[in-house]
Amino acid sequence: MTDEKQELVWHRVLSKDALPEGRVTSVTCKKKTLCVSHHDGQYGALDNKCPHQGGPLGEGSIENGLLRCPWHGWDYDPITGKAPGFDDGVETFPVEIRDDGIYVGLPPEESHITTVGDLMMETMTNWGVKQVFGMVGHSNLGVADALRIQEREGRLSYYGIRHEGAAAFACSAYGKLTGRPAACLSIAGPGATNLLTGLWDANVDRAPVVALTGQVETQVLGPGAFQEIDQVGAFGKVAQWSQTALHDSRHAELMNLACKSAILNRSVSHLIFPDEVPKRKLTDPPSAGGPEGRLPSRNIFPPEDTLQAAVDLLRASKRPVIVVGHGARFQMEPVVALAEQLKAPVITTFKGKGQISDHHPLAGGVLGRSGTPIASWLMNESDALLVFGASFSNHTGITSKRPTIQVDFDLMTLAKFHAIDVPVWGEIGVTARALSEALSDFTGSEDQRADVAARWAIWREEKERRTRDDRGKGINAAILFDRLTRVVDPDAIIAVDVGNNTYSFGRYFECRRQSVLMSGYLGSIGFSFPAAMGVWAATQEDDPRFHGRQVVSVSGDGGFGQYLAEINTAVKYGMNITHVLMNNGELGKISKEQRAGNWEVWQTSLHNPNFAEYAELCGAMGIRVNGAADLDAALERALNHPGPALVEVMTDAELV
């Protein structure tokens, strides 16, 4: 007996008066949870898990001298752990009553044995996945513990969100900004389905994401167990790559392929983890995977014949205009150099806003519904368009009535909506440099900088006039974004939501070196604040492109209402995010569309709290602004605050 006691580790689990006679409770000693009972003057300690269905015995009760499982009523002796009349029972542990409390003796904890989950999460971090957003739950605990170990070793950061949709949006924004995948974690069933909107945002905007979803155990997979859904079917086309990790899978290779697909396809990879698989111990684990030798060069040089056709079209042009979309985000330096060589204006799609400074002498601003008259005028006066990384969807506003060269790395994006004069398959930076070299002796195009400057002067006069509009129903958008243009850091990263706030931002905010992110083709309301969380995570990394940059989020009241609980997430992790909230008590964009369609305005009004007070209740800074005179001070105070801050601006729904 003495030798046994020496091998045990004794844990004080309760004070002497903490557990009344006839009661039971659950206690946790490091990783072990016990059911401690006090019956007939004796204390007992049992494994807390009922051996039949895993019911928590510490939540049961003592009836007629027996401990009853709360899940299915099986009885056990609270001291011996035996089930009267049966051969089974529950493991027991020795108890000692000491002067300072009740102690339980447990064997020393075993050293950690590598699991399938450990192998796969180590492989994931080897691929450079540094940020994980998600919610830990009963069907992903094996994956979660493996992530915990990676976080403990400093290889990733984990953020526990309040809604899985926010996790997916955060990952989508991170992918759009950096070009690298982050990961989102959910349980089976509703947790997995909650990811879908944010994952569709990533899919259609070509952002790499790795989705990790729990699933029911393989032994009950199929008939329809609790929280079981057909995840392969549910994720459908949102995930360009989707696989289930099974007992005999090549686990490191599964993660290799998930990360490779996310990066190369610029889309969503999805791994499904039946509950028991990531918990499976590996006595002789293989080496974790990684990207070495798995990623080809993506510097696609355009075919010579199409490159020559593009050169010929540009040589015949006098007033070429360059259009850039989101696909050119990481290749703007050679694109701008080519524009300067051709003396050609650069206009952007809305998703491309900020990719060239609005103060560059050739920058023509945003084209389309969220754009300015500058860009549309320049396009209409052009005699050729050179389009980099844009899709020509209806929202871009790119005309099909001018001779056009389209450059893209995605073959299916080329000429997707209509025939293009010269579709060029090539990586954008490589192609821009090749065009520049081929046109090195070309001097035939007109210098359009004077036209650009003249159109900006006209538009800035118009914007100034609009700042004076006042119907007495709130601050107008032109004033707000004029002030925001002045006070936001020149290199801030700005996440913009969907609605009238989006249109106003596109028209009125003038970018310098800011990066702008939005829910482009999906157009999902609620994007901006979760996106800002993903952006903030990127600013905590060592990447000099993003490290330490200011993070700003802009939304309307309708959008913020979708994920307003995530301000608690921002507070928990000390995320330095400034959220500018346009509160007009209305889904203003929808009201506008109803009026435009000759419909009655119906069910677009909103009942809102005082959002500034709500932010304060959550532990963030909250400021409400009722008058334009207070805007500058409020914005500067929020931007200088070292944590999450919300500026609630009471705005006019119609002055957009």
Give me the DSSP letters along 465-522.
HHTT---SSSB-HHHHHHHHHHHS-TT-EEEE-SSHHHHHHHHH---SS-EEEE--SS
Query: What whole-number distance in Å separates Cα of residue 474 and Cα of residue 651?
Result: 4
SS3 assignment, position 617 = helix
**pLDDT computed for residue 2 by the predictor:** 39
Note the CATH number of domain 467-650.
Answer: 3.40.50.970
Instruction: Put residue 73 in one of left, alpha, beta given phi > 0 → left and psi -120 to 50 → alpha.
Output: left
Given a cut of 50, the residues of the chain with pLDDT beneath it are 1-4
> Which tokens go with 573?
């992790």
379 close to 385: Cβ distance less than 8 angstroms: yes
Instruction: Put residue 64 in one of left, alpha, beta given phi > 0 → left and psi -120 to 50 → alpha.
Output: left
Q: What is the DSSP letter of 139?
A: T
Query: What whole-number distance in Å separates Cα of residue 259 and Cα of residue 120?
Result: 11
Query: What whole-number distance in Å separates Cα of residue 70 and Cα of residue 92?
Result: 19
**pLDDT computed for residue 87 by the predictor:** 80
End-to-end Cα distance, the chain? 81
For the chain, how many residues are written?
656
**pLDDT computed for residue 122 by the predictor:** 98
**pLDDT computed for residue 31 by the predictor:** 84
Query: What whole-number distance in Å separates Cα of residue 264 and Cα of residue 261?
Result: 5
- Tell me the β-bridge partners of 271: 212, 243
Listed in sequence order, the residues at least 6 apart from 277 whose beta carbon sits closer than 8 Å to its beta carbon are: 116, 142, 218, 245, 246, 247, 249
Place of tokens 């028209």: 507
> Which tokens go with 492?
């801030």
Domain with CATH 3.40.50.1220 in the chain: 304-451
304-451, which class in CATH? alpha beta
The three-point CA angle 509-514-518 to 5° equals: 75
Q: Name the packing angle between helices 116-126 and 251-265 (round to 10°).
A: 30
Query: Exposed (0-12), middle (13-18) or buried (19+): which is 238, by Cβ within 10 Å?
Result: buried
DSSP-assigned states of every residue in 298-314:
---PPPHHHHHHHHHHH
**pLDDT computed for residue 577 by the predictor:** 98
Residue 483 has a CB neighbour count (10 Å cut-off) of 21
Q: What is the DSSP letter of 620?
A: S
**pLDDT computed for residue 6 by the predictor:** 55
Residue 204 has a CB neighbour count (10 Å cut-off) of 19
Domain with CATH 3.40.50.970 in the chain: 116-274, 467-650
Query: What whole-number distance in Å separates Cα of residue 649 and Cα of residue 581?
Result: 6
**pLDDT computed for residue 309 by the predictor:** 97
Cα dihedral 518, 521, 522, 523 sign: positive
Q: Does domain 2-106 have CATH number 2.102.10.10?
A: yes
**pLDDT computed for residue 1 by the predictor:** 38
Instruction: Put residue 40 in one of left, alpha, beta given phi > 0 → left and psi -120 to 50 → alpha.
Output: left
Of the candidates 552, 485, 504, the one whose C-alpha atom is nearest the C-alpha of residue 652 is 504
**pLDDT computed for residue 3 by the predictor:** 46
Instruction: Determine the topology of domain 116-274 in CATH.
Output: Rossmann fold (3.40.50)
CA distances from 591 to 438, 528, 557, 623 (A): 51, 21, 14, 27
